[in-house]
Each structure stands twice: as structure tokens, then as C-alpha cells.
Amino acid sequence: MPKTNDPSWSLSPAFDDALKFASASHRGQMRKGTSTPYIAHPLGVASIAMEFGAAEAQAIAALLHDTMEDCGVTRAEIERRFGPDVARIVADCTDSTTHPKPPWKARKEKYIAHVATVKPDVLLVSAADKLHNARAIVRDVRNDGKGVWKRFSQDPDKVVWYYRSLLKEFSARRKEAAPGFALLLRELESEIEAMDELARG
């Protein structure tokens, strides 16, 4: 798979297909507590992943990372359309495929532990997802006030705990992932610090 630091690297038609598939899968969904179409999130995650060194399989997985969890898409369908690597990355970015979802704390603790076991190519996509979400939380709390926290099923301190715990696991595997992963983690850490300050403020 070509790398983004290769000047000959470019996205293939598979990326275009994934963009269409993600848009169709999330059609009608909105970002939690907002009027923003949900597809804005996978687009943002894919953008972050590519900016920090994603290969095409990772970029495609970033577009599709919530389709198993939130859209009922199966791993088999993703594998059939986009290949086994994309399907594996999407599955490893998914913390639940059951409805209703398991209790929040147990589900998050399981995913935190899972991060220690995934292949290195998953780390960049998962961290890009968390960075995009963290940026959105910080921006929305700053713009709209503490009422934003009511969008979540947990208190702000638990939300911060989850992000800090993931950052710790990501950081422990910093040297295994793409070179840009360490830079991404710096930005994630900065957003978590801002989130923590807003949660305590």
C-alpha cells in the first residue's frame, strides 16, 4: 500500500467508492445534539488520518469506521467491498455492534484494553477518530456552554477519563505506528487538556 510521503501516491477509485458508501450509510444521521450531518465526522477523521500519514486502506477505514457500530453494516460486507485490511481496521475501531449497546463503563474499559492488542495500522485511525471528537467537544463547550455535556450519557469527568485512558494506551505504542502518529498524539493530548479544563470549570 502506498504511503502519503511518496510523491507518486494518490487515492484510488476505492476511496471514492468508500466515500459514497459512508455517505449513504450515514444518511439521515446527525452528530449528537446538533444539526450537523453525521458524515462530517468520518470526513474529518479521514482528513486527520491522511494529514498524519495514513495509507489508503487506513483512509478508507477512517471513512467507514462507524458503519459497523452505527449503521448495521457487517464486517463481511466491508471486506467484500474494500478488502480484508479495511474490514479489520474498521472492526478494530468498533467498540460495539449490539443494540442496545452494553453499559458504557464496561464497553469503554473493554475498548481501552483492546487498543493494546490491535495491529499498528489501527492506531492512527482510532486516534484520529478520538482527536476529531475531542476537538468537537472542546469547540462546542466553548461556544455553547456546559449544556453540551448533557449530550453524553456520562458526567464530564468520565468522558475525560476515557480520553485520557486511551491516550495512555496510544502513547505506549507510539513507536509502532506511522511516523505522524506521535504528532497526532500531541494534538490529542492538547485537546484532552482543554477538555479537562472545561469539565472542571
Supply the residues annotated as catalytic: 69-70
d(CA 83, CA 90): 11
The three cell numbers of residue 28 are 439521515
Q: How many Å apart are CA 181 and CA 184, to the nearest integer?
A: 5
75 close to 20: Cβ distance less than 8 angstroms? no
Whether 137 contacts 148, CB under 8 Å:
yes
Identify whether 156 is preceded by a cis peptide bond (ω within 30 of 0).
no
**Rounded Cα distance, 33 and 31, in Å:** 6
Please choose, from the candidates 96, 13, 93, 39, the residue with its C-alpha nearest in 3D space to the C-alpha of residue 61.
Answer: 93
What is the distance of C-alpha 81 from the center of its chain?
21
